Amino acid sequence: MTQLLLFDITNGLIIGAFYVLMALGLSLILNLSNVINFAHGGFLVIGGYLAYTLLPYLGFWGALIAAPFLTAIIGLAVERVLISRVYGRDPLYSLLLTFGLAFIIEDGVRYIWGAQGKPVGIPEFLSRSLSGELFFITGYRLFMVATATTIVTLLFVLLRYTRIGIRIRAGTLDLETVAGLGVNVRALRSLNFAVGIFLAGLSGVLAGGQLGLEPTMGDGLLMPSFIAIIVGGVGSLAGTVLGGLLIGVASGLTAVFYPSASEAVIYVLMAVVLLIRPRGLLGEEGMLT
Amino acid sequence: MTIRSGSAGIGRRTVIKSAAAAGVAQFASPFVVSAWAADTVKIGLDNPLTGTYAAPGGNELIGCKLAVEQINAKGGILGRKVELLVEDSTSGDAGTAVQKARKLIERDNVDLLVGNVNSALAQAMAGVSYEKGVLHIVPGGHTDPITGTDCHWNVFRVCNTTRMEANSIVPLLFKTYGKKWHFITPDYAFGHTLYDGCEANLKKLGGTITGNELTPLGTTDFSAYLIKARAANPDVLIVLVQGSDMVNCLKQISQFGIDKQIHVAGTQQELESVEAMPPEARVGIWMFEWYWNQPGVAGVDKFVADIRKASGGKVPTARTWFGYVSIHSYGLVANAQKSLDAKKLAKALGDFQLPPEVKVQPNNVYFRGGDHQLMLSAFIGELLKNGDGDPENLFKVNSVVSGDSIAPPVSETGCTLKWPA
Amino acid sequence: MSGPFGTEQLRRLTTLGAIWLVLLLAPLWMPPLGLYTALGTRVLVLGLAAMSLNFLLGFTGVLSFGHAAWFGLGAYATGMCLKWFAASTPLGLLAGMLVGGVAGGLLGALLVRRRGVYFAMVTIAFGQVFYYIAFQWLSVTGGDDGLRGFERQPIHLGVATIDILNNATAFYYFVLVCFALTAAVMGFILRSPFGRTMVAIRENERRARFLGIPVELHIWIAFTLSCFFTAFAGGLYALVNNFADPRLLHYSQSGDFVIMAVLGGMRTFWGPLLGAVVFVVLQDYVSSVTVNWQFFIGLLFVLVVLFFPRGLLGFLQQRRRA
Amino acid sequence: MSLLEVDRVSKSFGSLVAVRDVSLKVAQGELRAIIGPNGAGKTTFFNLISGFFPPTTGTVSFDGEDVTGLSVAKRVTRGMARTFQITEIFPELTVFENLRIGAEVAAGYRLRPWIGKNAIAAVKRSVDEILDLTRLSAKATRRVGELAHGDQRAAEIAMALTLKPRLLLLDEPTAGMGEQETYEITQMVRRLHREKSFTIVLIEHDMRVVFHLADRITVLDQGALLAEGTPPEIAANEAVQAAYLGKAA
């Protein structure tokens, strides 16, 4: 029993690592641009399908690198052409805009690749389990966790120690001042958005190896990352990471002990957190209210 | 404005422009709508074309279109051209499905309503068709009540009931794989009835159940359930989830190497899902409701060839066949009865035997008079990791069990048809 | 102010007259246009929901992106009441309104201190809680298969009995009456001193506060009222389909309501109804023409945001002012 | 006894102390001006009085009652009203509508779903009175957003007046105004004080206005109380001159 419990917690962390990856992108965009990107799930799907298309030519590793970059480029274009127009306007508009984009992307994907699900093959050695005992820790899932960890570390280093990163962080707290300092906010936001979408694309490729690709797979993954942000506290990337892992474990455990609540549990978790700490676990007073 | 593929067999996407134009015309002139009613026999298809069930829904559409073209080629129904009005019911929004059903019946006054892949939507639609007394054929919604406790005189169903699925395959799995079973069941009506069917059979055979994982529809990560299932260490792991859930589940099973330690199998399997899986995930004994590779069976090759033509080289799946059968059975009885009267045709459809070119399989296939359930065969066999001879030949049929041998007697379905005066 | 608050009495009365005339005659003019009564009924109900949302969004300036939850709760409660407790349509509607409204009010109390994006996010998330409850609590809600097995019941008015079940037109008029009553109540409140404090909060929260208005309390009341109206619309929707499914509580449904409000003009009283007409008819039409209808709906969202942020009516008003 | 009594209030944001131990007594019917160089903490001090945020230490009492812990709304009902340095109005509404909201709140109607004919008439009367008092009657039906800056400032003061305040807090009423506008506002404040005998506390930069209006003057510098007295006394005060000249230099 205790062993089973241990397994499930580990497993939950693995799932959580994936949510973190997706939620971070969402969080970056929300923090700097004050935009809830409903289309994030859509970009994830694009990433997955691009990988599927590139796989025959570049192989898994090639696709793993190329697809997210292509997704980021698409994202950048979308940001420049559409999303940048609603910056500074009532959040209502960015919500509706990305909401519409989500529709367009899902339908576009169905139009291009068809409604029929698509498999993404992964390297043989990754698809094996660690051991008969720890069968649920496959090479691939370890690889996902490793990727997530690397990305998180990179991101935090970037935000702490590079000029761009520091500006992004400053912008999160007080955009006016940053603009006042002569920083090109527009470029900063575009870059930041691209990074966010890159993460979405990457999550898409990784998900493709684990799940069957499907035009609608985005929605299912959007909400958890969304909750991860609220639980962790809007405005705090560390919080997002914490939130992601938390809901991963929470859903993993309930799936075993009370399956019929496995989806609802993350929302209950959120409700509880908000009741105790209205700002979320690591959210700071005065952010985005 | 609705697509009328029957009249020309236009592909759905190519139709947009012309349709839009026609749409304007229709909005402009009040008389178009009423004008239609007279000269054609109208069949309304209210089925998912977007969302999770888009793939099966799309295939059923292809089957329907082919049938309509064939009927029109042979002079239509009662000498009148058949037109197929296609509406997207969406995959889960009953409100829309009902809305479209009303649209087809009230505005376009269709003679036959067809749909839905999603059992819930099918039943919601049945509510409307029953209220309006319109003949209604459900091609691919599996939950038992449709031809059981909630059956109606005007509603017919082509695909299996979950009970038939269970009966068709459980004994074989028991014989080949062993007596200790663990289930992964989708947590909604379809899954529950399917599980009950399997359980009943298993009990009869003296097997035991080590557990049943109820997974919410749309579950992407099955690891938690698989860990639990594996810990129970059964002889067989039965996967009852469908569609993309099944794909994800089997994919993770193979990655975890569970299929190396436990037998993995299930009841209903569909080509749509199998094609969405990577080869290593294609394992176990399953049951197909129809399969395209039947050497030497009358009419199959022609059917497959026609579908390939219509679908850019893809073979027909069970779904394609469901659509095909739905339309043809209606055409046949209507012409036989020389009438479009719903009640008359409903009576005639009861115990109506499908001809070879429509049933395209060895055994007798007919709608049972007592509950309006089609007695279709179950194709039992094993999944092939890679296409044998044809990339889409991913299933090796071992036996074809006739429908009436696996269907519970009408008395057990809980269906009593109430006919209008 | 605009809509029924327009300055020139005459113009206001004529618009009102026109709107009601169009609604009253709908069953006559719709069929010739290739529309159908059931569609009209649906537009009315969704329009009412959009107006209820806009009561909060357009007149208090608070963006709730989770109103589908109250809509759905209303639908389920109405269905359950009809199914298990009493075969009475009015009673069912009452139950729906109460359940949805009370639930909304309770949660609202947790939310009123949040603003902007954060308020939107939290409302979405809380809405989803109810979605998953409806989705997974099979024994009570029927889960993904939805709540079935109830029918709207004939209306008994001492003298006569109106069969709203089988007579589509009769049902349309029944819904129209419900719509009229709710719209009247909304309009009434918006013209009251309380209604004016709502607008004050929308216009300038700080000033409102320093005029001695306890902003949180007033936002909470507005939110709760809006939930009651939305839930009532939800109850009607359950009657339209004789069916309730989880999809009603999903955030994408909330999105539909918001776009209806914005599309029609969220600073106007009747805008959301117009938005609902355009949105529902367009969706019904496009989805029959092409399998890729979602693309066009998405495009609609984008175009509205970029080119009609004040909505159709708002656009007209600007033209008039200019 | 004094109407407003502020006792050694301080406000610090993190390490920064914006107001340090400032006390103030304003008598019934007095017009008090608060001056001081930029960043002296005048507006922060105002915010502490009006309840915009609570003081870190110290108390604010109004008419003998300790209101330190009370919400803005409660203070308003006790009779405090304020305006802001940056005009805060309801731009989309007409002048009349702007004032009506205040008048209805003052009459205790804010939660009413309806009010009777007489009530409506009463509200209209009080609004018209104030429109007249503030010389805005002619513009009553214009949308405030469209008015000239001066008129917007006047409208904001008018809104404060609709609350029938016993204490009027004006934050730089002449901010950003031209000669003529400044003169008119000054005259208006004077009328309010002399004819309607309002108790007024105002922050002002323009020394002419201050010395023209104020009964007493409070000088803040770097968040602390520098001096207090009648205009002549303040004019003669070296410390004050130093503070200003120091800033000037």
CA distance to A154, A158, A169, D78, per residue, from A162 (Å): 11, 5, 11, 54
Q: Do C212 and D112 touch (CB under 8 A)?
A: no
Query: Which residues in chain B land under pLDDT 70?
Result: 1-38
Q: Identify the three-state secondary structure at position B259.
A: helix
Q: How many domains does chain C have?
A: 1
The verdict on residue C204 lying in a domain is: yes
> How far B28 CA sits from the closest chain C CA (Å)?
7
Q: Do D114 and C192 touch (CB under 8 A)?
A: yes
Q: Identify the three-state secondary structure at position B214.
A: strand
The verdict on residue D173 lying in a domain is: yes
Q: What would the mean pLDDT of A224-233 be, rounded to a whole number?
A: 89
- Give the residue from D163, D195, D229 where a domain finishes: D163
Q: Which residue has the tokens 């002296």?
A: D40
The verdict on residue D84 lying in a domain is: no
CB C69 within 8 A of CB C75: no
Burial C269-279 (b: 16+ CB within 10 A, else e): bbbbbbbbbbb
Distance CA A159, CA B357 (A): 68
CA distance to A242, B3, B306, per residue, from B13 (Å): 46, 10, 20
Residue C240's CATH number: 1.10.3470
Cβ neighbours of D140 in C, within 8 Å: none
The chain D residue lying nearest C202, using CA atoms, is D90
Distance CA D122, CA C111 (A): 36
D191 shares a domain with D142: no
Side chain identity at residue B384, one-letter code? L
Burial class (CB in 10 A: 0-12, 13-18, 19+), D120: middle
CB D31 within 8 A of CB D190: no
CB B119 within 8 A of CB B190: yes
| The pLDDT of residue C322 | 66
Residue D194, number of CB atoms within 10 A of its CB? 11
Q: How many domains does chain D have?
A: 2
Cβ neighbours of A271 in C, within 8 Å: 126, 129
Q: Strands B135-138 and B155-157: what pairing?
A: parallel
Q: Do A212 and B225 touch (CB under 8 A)?
A: no
The verdict on residue A235 lying in a domain is: yes
pLDDT > 90 fraction of chain A, expressed in percent and rounded: 38
Q: Do A211 and B247 touch (CB under 8 A)?
A: yes
DSSP result, B379-397:
EEEEE-SS-SSSTT--EEE
CB B371 within 8 A of CB B410: yes
D140 shares a domain with D202: no
CB B169 within 8 A of CB B156: no
| The pLDDT of residue D90 | 93
Distance CA D86, CA D89 (A): 10
Give chain B's largest Cα–Cα span.
68
Closest CA to B219 of A115, C146, A15: A15
pLDDT tens digits, D64-107? 899 998 999 999 999 999 999 888 999 989 999 999 999 999 98
D244 shares a domain with D204: yes
D171 shares a domain with D63: yes
Q: Residue C129: which of A82, A106, A271 has the nearest Cβ?
A: A271
Residue B396 pairs in a beta bridge with B382
The chain C residue lying nearest D84, using CA atoms, is C207
Least confident of A121-130, A199-208, C57-66: A121-130
Distance CA A258, CA B213 (A): 10
Q: Residue C289: which of B23, B30, B187 has the nearest Cβ?
A: B23
Q: What would the mean pLDDT of A53-69 be, rounded to a whole number?
A: 92
Whether this model's ipTM surpasses 0.90 comes out as no
Residue C155 pairs in a beta bridge with C162
| The pLDDT of residue A1 | 62
pLDDT over 50 at D180, yes or no: yes
The verdict on residue A289 lying in a domain is: no
Cβ neighbours of B27 in C, within 8 Å: 33-34
D67 shares a domain with D182: yes
DSSP result, C276-304:
HHHHHHHHHHHHHH-TTHHHHHHHHHHHH
Which of the residues C245, C282, C283, C285 would you substitute to probe the B interface, choosing the one with the greatest number of B C-beta atoms within 10 Å? Answer: C245
Q: What would the mean pLDDT of A162-185 be, rounded to a whole number?
A: 80
Which of A166-180, B31-45, C251-265 is modeled with the greatest confidence?
C251-265
- Give the residue from D163, D183, D205 where a domain finishes: D163
pLDDT over 50 at A288, yes or no: no
Residue D159 is part of which domain span? 89-163
Q: Residue A96: which of C262, C293, C294 has the nearest Cβ?
A: C262
Q: Do A140 and B255 touch (CB under 8 A)?
A: yes
| The pLDDT of residue B38 | 56
CB C234 within 8 A of CB C248: yes
The chain D residue lying nearest C219, using CA atoms, is D111
pLDDT over 60 at A221, yes or no: yes
B22 interfaces chain A, CB cutoff of 8 Å: no
Side chain identity at residue B196, one-letter code? D
The verdict on residue D50 lying in a domain is: yes
The verdict on residue C26 lying in a domain is: no
Q: Do B52 and A214 touch (CB under 8 A)?
A: yes
A225 interfaces chain B, CB cutoff of 8 Å: no
| The pLDDT of residue B125 | 93
Tokens coding A215: 């035009």
Q: Strands D80-82 and D167-171: what pairing?
A: parallel
Q: Do A127 and B227 touch (CB under 8 A)?
A: no
Chains B/C: 3 or more C-beta pairs closer than 8 A?
yes
Residue C310 is part of which domain span? 34-321
Q: What would the mean pLDDT of A25-29 be, rounded to a whole number?
A: 92
Q: How many CA atoms lie within 13 A of C138 on its CB side?
A: 16
- Give the residue from D104, D129, D163 where a domain finishes: D163
Distance CA B396, CA B294 (A): 10
Domains of chain B, earliest start first? 3-160+299-375 (3.40.50.2300), 163-288+378-406 (3.40.50.2300)
Cβ neighbours of D81 in C, within 8 Å: 210
> How far A10 CA sits from the closest chain C CA (Å)?
25
> How far A183 CA sits from the closest chain C CA (Å)?
25
Crossing angle for the helix pair A217-232 and A91-113, to the nearest 10 degrees: 150
Q: What would the mean pLDDT of C221-237 be, rounded to a whole number?
A: 96
Q: How many CA atoms lie within 13 A of B218 on its CB side?
A: 20
CB B167 within 8 A of CB B412: no
Q: Identify the three-state secondary structure at position C314.
A: helix
The verdict on residue C187 lying in a domain is: yes
The verdict on residue C6 lying in a domain is: no
Return the HEC string of chain D: CEEEEEEEEEEEECCEEEEEEEEEEEECCCEEEEECCCCCCHHHHHHHHHCCCCCCEEEEEECCEECCCCCHHHHHHHCEEECCCCCCCCCCCEHHHHHHHHHHHHCCCCCCCCCCHHHHHHHHHHHHHHHHHCCCHHHCCCEHHHCCHHHHHHHHHHHHHHCCCCEEEEECCCCCCCHHHHHHHHHHHHHHHHCCCCEEEEECCCHHHHHHHCCEEEEEECCEEEEEECHHHHHHCHHHHHHHHHHHC
pLDDT over 70 at D249, yes or no: no
Q: Do A115 and B54 touch (CB under 8 A)?
A: yes
The verdict on residue A36 lying in a domain is: yes
The verdict on residue D126 lying in a domain is: yes
Which helix (H) or strand (E) covers residue B236, if one does? strand B236-239
Provide the CA B205 distance to its chain's centre, in angstroms. Answer: 29
Distance CA B217, CA B196 (A): 18
Cβ neighbours of B220 in A, within 8 Å: 207, 211, 217, 220-221
The mean predicted confidence, pLDDT, of chain A is 86
According to DSSP, residue A138 is labeled B
**pLDDT band at C28; cut points 50, 70, 90:** confident
Residue A159 is part of which domain span? 2-276
Residue A247's CATH number: 1.10.3470
pLDDT > 90 fraction of chain C, expressed in percent and rounded: 53
The verdict on residue C25 lying in a domain is: no
pLDDT tens digits, D24-42? 999 999 999 999 888 788 8
D227 shares a domain with D129: no
The verdict on residue A286 lying in a domain is: no
Cβ neighbours of D62 in C, within 8 Å: none
Crossing angle for the helix pair C251-264 and C271-289, to the nearest 10 degrees: 120
The verdict on residue A283 lying in a domain is: no
Cβ neighbours of C188 in D, within 8 Å: 113-114
The verdict on residue A287 lying in a domain is: no
> The whole model's pTM is what?
0.87
Q: How many domains does chain A have?
A: 1
The mean predicted confidence, pLDDT, of chain D is 89
